Amino acid sequence: MGICLPNPGEAHINGVIVPEEKAYEEAAKQFLMAKVPTIFPGPLVLWAWNEKAAKKATAIRHLYNTLKECVQPGQTPMLIPMPDYRPKYPKINPEVEINPNHPNLTIWHNKIDCCMFVGVHCHQANLALKIIRGGTSCYTVAMCAQAGHEDAMLSFRDASVEKIMKLAEWVRKLKGTVQPRLTSAKSGASN
Amino acid sequence: MADTHSVIGTKNKKGQTFTDTWKMMNDAPRTPSFYTGSEVIKEALRRASCDVMIAYPITPQSEAAALIGELFAEGYIGDYFRGESEFAVMSQCAGAAFGGARVFTTTAGPGTMRAMENFPMWSGARLPIQMIVTCRGINSPLSIQPDTLEIAYLLNTGMLVWHAETAQDFFDWILKGYMVSEEPDVHLPLALCCDGFFVTHTKDVVNLTPADMCLPPYDPYRSPVPCMDMECPPVRMMRDPFVMKSNYISYATHASWQQEVWAAVERSRKHTIKWLNGLIETENTDAEVIIVASGTAVSQGREAIRLLEDEGIRCGLVKVKVLRPWPGEEIREATKNAKHIIVPEFNVTGWLAKEIKATIPNSERVHAGPRVCGGMTMPPEIIVSEIKTLLGIHTVSMASRG
């Protein structure tokens, strides 16, 4: 814990600081390789509490649609919200939401092998990312609006509408060039 | 949404200009002023764009707290009041910070101890409150005199802990402290400690930034947790199932939560190094004897080094500015050539020496002392005497001095 986070214009992949451009390519590859690439939008982009949030939400929907267009048969992109941070017991419905305090339920249930957090408050994102890392083998990406996330395997910082759209562009650019992991028995979502 | 940078160059209601903090601290002209440490706290806070200050009077921080009351009367502080006790004060600080305010408080000794339950809560809730700790004795029989034992208790709260040597450190670090603790990847409370009376009640020349410049306001929208929301953690965590349940995921959440707080302490390292120009300061680290100290023990160490130089004995110095995050790597590097590491401290247990011993190779090199406590002063001659004894040089007993 406590790795050095990227400076503006940079990202990190597995804790190694890289130019942001390299991270777009790697994130797009991971999305296109995954059997169930999933976007987890959080409260900061699920409600139109300001104009920027609304625009980000539109960009995230665009990224999701792009993913759906670019994956191959057998791949199932998902968009599962993290609507709030309330602990919910006995458990959440993993088909409709993800809970930062119990994220592995949603990962396991849907066999998600690559996910991206966006619009989640940093503390809650780190909490969930740590548990996902500890309890699943899902590849984690963070599109963070602040300083980035050490607990994601790949993290952007200073997320904006432009950056989300650029990631969508990279997904489209790499369409058909990446071999999906469709033969994997565990789909990367084991515990 | 508030945008901190958009207000730079505009004026607040007192006519101060919100200024880029880096420029204010590094480029703006400084005016030498002759102030007590308490007055310096007031002057720093005048420039800190602080929303709320709450305190309970306890020596030796009372004067600073009272002076900040004057700032409130002048309109520099958003709100200011006295709590019912230190415990109440720290809880009220939490409430203000939960609501998105920049918060400041001061305490000392038994007050720190009384409020202790709040400090891990502040960290866990990611509240970037700044607390000045003017250290004094905490034990019975009652002592109001300087003693740094309370710092030992703060080291494991998840707060950032800095230890100022001088009033100048205090002035600069109060302002810079907000810049570090409010970073979204840090967002933790800061305990900015000094040795009570030695710093708070003595006058020193302090170079102040212009009074018509102030920090940009705190932007709560950069917080890693939502502002006050009774339905969501961190507020709701205090009464909700994942705290109370005995099951794996409850433990996993708590474990992740604590790891995240300590990861944030580590992440502050990058920002602290930038603002404080390193976690430690060093002099003559090629010497065989090195004094490693924090707070005013550094000043006494400097004087001891001067006395030793007069006798032809060369000695190095490491000033530990920051205790959390712990500058382990820096201390290892700075002491790698030392045969003797002397750690003078103003407390009975020698917590700094223990931290250093746990950090460096060949820890038998660490001499945990001299230590004074209960308000005793530490004449540099005591440090000189211990160093000479370690080097096998005959010294006159200090005991006869009474």
B222-239 tens-digit pLDDT? 999 987 666 666 555 555
Domain hosting residue A158, numbered range: 11-173
- CB neighbours of residue B211 within 10 Å: 14
CATH, range B280-401: 3.40.50.920
Chain-centroid distance, C-alpha A170: 15
User: How many whole angstroms separate alpha carbon B74 and alpha carbon B132?
Assistant: 21
Edge to edge, what strands does the sheet with A154-156 contain? A16-19, A10-13, A154-156, A139-143, A114-118, A37-41, A78-79
Q: Is A191 among the domain residues?
A: no
SS3 state at B259: helix
Closest of B166, B146, B65, B46 to residue B374, by C-alpha: B146
Which residue would you say has higher pLDDT here, B265 or B253?
B265
Task: Give contacts of A2 with chain B, Cβ < 8 Å.
Answer: 262-263, 265-267, 269, 325
CB contacts < 8 A (A, B): 93
User: Has residue A191 got a pLDDT over 70?
Assistant: no
User: Has residue A3 got a pLDDT over 80?
Assistant: no
User: A-contacting residues of B 298-327, CB under 8 Å?
Assistant: 325
What would the two tokens of residue A42 be?
Answer: 């959080």
Q: What is the pLDDT of residue B3?
A: 54
Q: What is the pLDDT of residue B1?
A: 42
Closest of A159, A123, A152 to residue A5, by C-alpha: A152
Q: What are A146-182's pLDDT values in tens digits?
A: 999 999 999 999 999 999 999 999 999 999 999 998 7
Q: Is A178 among the domain residues?
A: no
CATH among 3.30.43.10, 3.40.50.970, 3.90.1150.10, 1.10.1740.10 for B4-222:
3.40.50.970
Q: Give residue A89's pLDDT band: very low, low, confident or very high (50, 70, 90).
A: low
User: How many whole angstroms separate alpha carbon B400 and alpha carbon B402?
Assistant: 5
Q: Tokens 């720190």 — which residue? A: B112
Q: Is A116 among the domain residues?
A: yes
Q: Is A190 among the domain residues?
A: no
- Give the CATH number for residue A63: 3.40.50
Mean pLDDT of B31-44: 96
Chain-centroid distance, C-alpha B183: 17
Mean pLDDT of B368-386: 94
Strand locations in chain A (E): 10-13, 16-19, 37-41, 78-79, 114-118, 139-143, 154-156
- Contact at CB, A131 and B252, closer than 8 angstroms: yes
User: How many whole angstroms separate alpha carbon B264 and alpha carbon B271?
Assistant: 11
Q: Which part of chain B is CATH 3.40.50.920?
A: 280-401
Strand locations in A20-171 (E): 37-41, 78-79, 114-118, 139-143, 154-156
User: How many whole angstroms separate alpha carbon B89 and alpha carbon B73?
Assistant: 20
Q: What is the pLDDT of residue B241?
A: 54
Kind and range of the H or E run holding B280? strand B280-283
Which residue would you say has higher pLDDT here, B123 or B4?
B123
SS3 state at B208: strand
Kind and range of the H or E run holding B205? strand B203-208
- Contact at CB, A89 and B187, closer than 8 angstroms: no
Buried b (16+ CB within 10 A) or exposed e, B52-74: bbbbbebbbbbbbbebbbebbee
Closest of B179, B201, B210 to residue B67, by C-alpha: B201
User: Has residue A102 got a pLDDT over 80?
Assistant: yes
Q: What is the ipTM of this complex?
A: 0.90
The shortest C-alpha distance from A165 to chain B (Å) reads 22
Buried b (16+ CB within 10 A) or exposed e, B222-234: bbbbbeebeebbb
Task: Give contacts of B259 with chain A, Cβ < 8 Å.
Answer: 1, 130
Pinpoint the alpha helices (H) of B161-291. 167-181, 241-244, 248-276
What would the two tokens of residue B106 be?
Answer: 């001061």
User: How many whole angstroms separate alpha carbon A41 and alpha carbon A58?
Assistant: 11
Nearest to B225 among A2, A52, A121 (CB): A121
Mean pLDDT of B70-75: 96
Mutation choice for B interface testing from A52, A55, A123, A130 by most B CBs within 10 A: A123
H, E, C per residue of A63-95: HHHHHHHHCCCCCCCEECCCCCCCCCCCCCCCC
Q: Which part of chain B is CATH 3.40.50.970?
A: 4-222
Q: What is the pLDDT of residue A188?
A: 46
Please provide the distance, in angstroms rounded to a whole number, between the alpha carbons at the two ends of chain A: 21
The chain B residue lying nearest A99, using CA atoms, is B253
**Residues listed for chain A:** 191
What would the two tokens of residue B369 be?
Answer: 């002392």
User: How many whole angstroms separate alpha carbon B93 and alpha carbon B242?
Assistant: 25
Mean pLDDT of B144-164: 96
Residue B130 touches chain A, beta carbons under 8 Å:
no
Residue B286 touches chain A, beta carbons under 8 Å:
no
Q: Is A187 among the domain residues?
A: no
* Domain count of the fold of chain A: 1
User: How many whole angstroms separate alpha carbon B189 and alpha carbon B93?
Assistant: 11
For chain B, the farthest-separated pair of C-alpha atoms sits apart, in whole angstroms, at: 69
Q: What is the pLDDT of residue A185?
A: 41
Closest of B369, B384, B385 to residue B307, by C-alpha: B384
Contact indicator for A106, A112 with CB cutoff of 8 Å: yes
In chain B, % of residues over pLDDT 70: 92
Mean pLDDT of A52-72: 97
Residue B224 touches chain A, beta carbons under 8 Å:
yes
Q: What is the pLDDT of residue A39?
A: 98
Q: Is A1 among the domain residues?
A: no
User: Has residue B5 got a pLDDT over 90?
Assistant: no
User: How many whole angstroms separate alpha carbon B257 and alpha carbon B173?
Assistant: 28
Q: Tell me the pTM.
A: 0.94
| Average pLDDT taken over every residue of chain B | 92
